[in-house]
């Protein structure tokens, strides 16, 4: 059976010929006719590229993206999301079992979590696991200024998924839409008709109102802003499963590092376990970048293997940015050294063995930095832990006050971090204000409580650093001379003073 689009092309060509003959018959000059045809052709090609006259192009372009061969074993960490996703995908693999138990097939799976945690990789592995046709698209591909274009592209996307499954002789198809918040945002009842029509069409397709049920379609979507999605999209029967893909823990980070180290020659001394300890809060994408940057550092030094120095440099690069060639005066270097030593000494005092390195190497916008690594991953924080974190943030400014009698602009970021932690304390009911809704607190109350907490912790920080003034002087000469100070050197000096 011929497609309706083929008939539409023939009708269009026939109509164009009739109009051309008519214009020649009435005596219109050929030059004007040619110019008109050229203008019409240019407009046609432009609107075709934009999707105005040929809305099927987006679906066809998306359908040609075939996933690389990827299995769940190739994805490091994320064991819980993989278990949840595998269980949901079994509804496609074992059709007879779910029909016997009367289970309604899942229509959609929503992957949520921070950027770089592997949501797209999970979707690709899902296609391999189920042996399904796979079509990928981005939410931004369906956003247009012309009303109806986005809805047409949604229809074409589902149509192409069915055609791909039929062509490959498969019963299932998986559609993956990345950054679905681009088309699935909450409807506010305003004048955004294009966005509303696109979302309405997506809801209709997920309900299967206009679809061919001979091919079962599972929609997998990813977003890091779930709170922006429309409630109609999140209800059961559309996105039945919401799977949280979080940042990896220590064991998962080590697993990810090992996967990305398979094609890289590591030296015998290289310790991926140590790298996993020092990369708390890193996503899978950042860990992959660490291994890649370490290989680049090894290439620069013409080394045949990657060692711990290369890995440490790579962590700093990913965390802080590229090393900058900034010329600083000796006074500035000494002030930066005192500032960073203030952070480090406070950290070692309240959290022993938490400092990995102190450096005067400028990276990004920082003239120096302290790299911390926790002894274990933490996800809940008590009042003592938050106060310790504030003291560490204030340690640099307090150290400058002790040695120079005043602060510098280098403490701005530290103060932002400290006030952010204070806000967390107040909103968690850990301040003298008690349990109170943030919107019920006036600006004066916020400012007063913030000043009260920070002033008290500044006094405690000043008392702590005052006891280590001789340690500052010994560490300062080492840091100025070598530019870096390891955590072991710092702890040895503190223990000698004790």
Residues with a catalytic annotation lie at: 340
Q: Is 318 exposed, middle or buried (0-12, 13-18, 19+ CB in 10 A)?
A: buried
Residue 463: both structure tokens together: 């008392």
**428 vs 238, 384, 436, CA distance in Å?**
34, 13, 9
Distant-in-sequence contacts of 329-337, Cβ < 8 A, 24+ apart: 332/367, 333/360, 333/480, 334/476, 334/480, 335/400, 335/404, 335/408, 335/410, 336/360, 336/367, 336/368, 336/410, 337/368, 337/476, 337/479, 337/480
Q: Is 412 exposed, middle or buried (0-12, 13-18, 19+ CB in 10 A)?
A: exposed
The percent helix, strand, coil of the chain (3-state, each to 5) is 60, 10, 30
Characterise 308 by phi-psi region: left (phi > 0), alpha (psi -120 to 50), beta (else): alpha
Look-up of token digits 């400290």 = 418
Residue 477: both structure tokens together: 């000469």
The Cα 6–Cα 3 span in angstroms is 5
Q: Where are the alpha helices (DSSP H) in 351-486?
A: 383-404, 412-427, 443-466, 469-482
What's the alpha-carbon Rg for the chain, to the nearest Å? 30
Give the closest residue to 123 by CA, choosing from 65, 165, 204.
65
The Cα 452–Cα 83 span in angstroms is 47
What is the torsional sign of CA 335, 339, 342, 345? negative
Residue 289: both structure tokens together: 């970048």
Q: Which residues pair with 221 in a beta bridge?
A: 110, 177
The Cα 340–Cα 359 span in angstroms is 8
């Amino acid at each position: 059976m011929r497609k309706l689009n083929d008939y539409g092309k023939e009708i269009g060509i026939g109509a164009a010929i009739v109009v051309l003959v008519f214009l020649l018959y009435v005596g219109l000059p050929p030059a004007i006719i040619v110019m008109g045809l050229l203008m019409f052709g240019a407009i046609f090609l432009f609107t075709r590229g934009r999707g105005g006259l040929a809305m099927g192009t987006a679906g066809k372009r998306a359908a040609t993206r075939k996933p690389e061969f990827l299995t769940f074993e190739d994805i490091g960490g994320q064991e819980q999301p993989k278990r949840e996703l595998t269980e949901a995908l079994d509804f496609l693999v074992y059709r007879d079992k779910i029909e016997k138990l009367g289970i309604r097939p899942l229509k959609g799976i929503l992957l949520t979590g921070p950027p770089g945690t592997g949501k797209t990789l999970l979707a690709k592995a899902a296609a391999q696991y189920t042996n399904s046709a796979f079509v990928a698209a981005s939410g931004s591909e369906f956003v247009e200024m012309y009303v109806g274009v986005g809805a047409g592209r949604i229809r074409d996307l589902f149509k192409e998924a069915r055609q791909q499954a039929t062509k490959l002789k498969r019963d299932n198809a998986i559609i993956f839409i990345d950054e679905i918040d681009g088309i699935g945002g909450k409807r506010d009842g305003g004048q955004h008709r294009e966005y509303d029509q696109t979302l309405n069409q997506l809801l209709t397709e997920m309900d299967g109102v206009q679809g061919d049920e001979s091919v079962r379609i599972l929609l997998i979507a990813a977003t890091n802003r779930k709170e922006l999605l429309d409630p109609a999209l999140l209800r059961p029967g559309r996105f039945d499963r919401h799977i949280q893909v979080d940042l990896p823990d220590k064991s998962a980070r080590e697993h990810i590092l090992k996967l990305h180290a398979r094609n890289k020659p590591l030296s015998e001394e290289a310790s991926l376990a140590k790298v996993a300890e020092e990369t708390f809060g890193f996503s899978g994408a950042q860990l992959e970048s660490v291994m890649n940057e370490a290989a680049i550092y090894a290439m620069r030094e013409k080394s045949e293997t990657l060692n711990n120095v290369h890995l440490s440099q790579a962590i700093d690069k990913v965390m802080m940015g590229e090393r900058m060639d900034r010329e600083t005066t000796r006074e500035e270097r000494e002030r930066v050294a005192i500032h960073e030593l203030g952070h480090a000494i406070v950290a070692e005092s309240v959290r022993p063995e938490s400092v990995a390195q102190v450096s005067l190497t400028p990276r990004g916008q920082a003239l120096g930095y302290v790299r911390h690594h926790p002894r274990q991953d933490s996800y809940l924080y008590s009042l003592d832990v938050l106060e310790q974190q504030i003291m560490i943030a204030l340690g640099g400014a307090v150290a400058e006050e002790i040695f120079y009698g005043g602060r510098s602009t280098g403490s701005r970021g530290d103060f932002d971090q400290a006030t952010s932690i204070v806000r967390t304390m107040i909103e968690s009911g850990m301040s003298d204000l008690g349990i109170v809704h943030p919107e019920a607190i006036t600006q004066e109350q916020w400012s007063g409580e913030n000043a009260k907490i920070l002033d008290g912790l500044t006094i405690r920080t000043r008392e702590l650093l005052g006891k280590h003034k001789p340690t500052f002087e010994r560490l300062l000469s080492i840091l100025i001379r070598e530019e870096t100070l390891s955590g072991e050197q710092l702890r040895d000096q503190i223990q000698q003073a004790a």
